[in-house]
């Protein structure tokens, strides 16, 4: 499981802008690509965690690379060669990709993508779907795998994939309308695509040179696991302190039963006088 961002927002944003010509003719914005990259990998250029085969920031399947792989310009397969030629003519051909291979019934990447390639393959996939006539919704559905019926994570079942798309779109809208150097505004937007609790820890990675935060949004711990643990320790200590105080209060409230009131004859000891003939004190008895 991915636990933290893989790079700063500025670093990945600049890579997206550098390659924006790939998606420029499509209905996708750079902000939407950033939303997808955040939801898919928390800005980590890695292979899919678990048994899947997707790679890169946008978790693209290597089985789709043939649509824009520059090596296919020399393919003996006429169909693949034609797709590579189209990608070249349209400006979304990706160069120097590692080879792909079959591993059982899976198509895997034999190697790793550079950070720029990881951006390019996601954008090229979007562009290819656009060139094949898909609408914005069609591209979103295709990228999110809407309609996929194979084995999948529980959160993707039912309308789970549509919920993912909805999060991308909310994030895109917020990113479009915010200053990209406003750390807290950007992070608030990223929350829409994939929520997180480790606000200060993530902020330090996403915006390492940003001014101190103006405040963590309501309901979010300032830190991550460390902060949560500190909160647990603090809460435990507070509970123990309260329990100790309650016990002390109970002790203070408890006292030995008061001695019974002295009978009048005892309370008047000092006031009587002893009769030497009878041996009795006139006030309290025998003396």
Q: Residue 231: what pLDDT?
A: 47
Give me the number of domains the chain comprises. Answer: 1
| CATH code, domain with 39 | 1.10.530
Is 47 domain-assigned? Answer: yes
In a domain, 284, yes or no: no
Residue 40 resides in a domain: yes
pLDDT given at position 41: 98
Nearest to 191 by CA among 179, 203, 181: 203
Is there a domain that residue 137 lies in?
Answer: yes
Which regions in the chain score pLDDT beneath 50? 224-233, 256, 262-275, 277-278, 280-287
Q: Is 235 part of any domain?
A: no
Tell me the H-state helices in the chain.
9-18, 30-41, 78-90, 115-131, 136-144, 160-176, 183-193, 199-206, 225-253, 264-267
Q: Is residue 45 part of a domain?
A: yes
Q: What is the pLDDT of residue 49?
A: 87
Residue 269 lies in a domain: no
For residue 40, the enclosing domain spans 9-179
For the sheet containing 285-286, what is the strand order?
A: 274-275, 280-281, 285-286
């Amino acid at each position: 499981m991915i636990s933290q961002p893989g790079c700063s927002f500025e670093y990945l944003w600049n890579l997206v802008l550098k390659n924006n010509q790939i998606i420029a003719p499509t209905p996708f914005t750079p902000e939407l690509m950033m939303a997808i990259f955040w939801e898919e990998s928390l800005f980590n250029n890695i292979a899919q965690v678990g048994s899947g085969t997707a790679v890169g920031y946008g978790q693209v399947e290597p089985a789709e690379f043939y649509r824009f792989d520059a090596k296919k310009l020399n393919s003996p397969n006429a169909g693949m060669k034609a797709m590579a030629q189209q990608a070249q003519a349209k400006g979304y051909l990706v160069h120097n990709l590692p080879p792909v291979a079959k591993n059982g019934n899976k198509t895997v990447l034999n190697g790793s993508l550079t950070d720029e390639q990881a951006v390019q393959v996601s954008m090229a996939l979007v562009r290819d779907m656009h060139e094949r006539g898909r609408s914005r919704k069609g591209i979103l559905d295709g990228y999110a795998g809407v309609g996929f019926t194979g084995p999948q994570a529980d959160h993707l079942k039912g309308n789970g994939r549509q919920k993912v798309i909805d999060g991308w779109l909310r994030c895109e809208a917020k990113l479009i309308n915010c200053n990209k150097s406003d750390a807290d505004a950007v992070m608030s937007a990223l929350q829409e695509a994939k929520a997180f609790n480790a606000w200060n820890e993530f902020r330090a990675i996403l915006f390492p040179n940003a001014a101190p935060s103006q405040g963590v949004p309501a309901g979010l711990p300032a830190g991550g696991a460390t902060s949560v643990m500190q909160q647990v320790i603090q809460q435990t200590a507070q509970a123990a302190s309260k329990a100790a105080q309650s016990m002390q209060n109970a002790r203070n409230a408890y006292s030995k039963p008061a001695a019974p009131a002295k009978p009048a004859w005892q309370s008047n000891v000092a006031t009587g006088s002893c009769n030497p003939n009878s041996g009795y004190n006139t006030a309290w008895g025998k003396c």
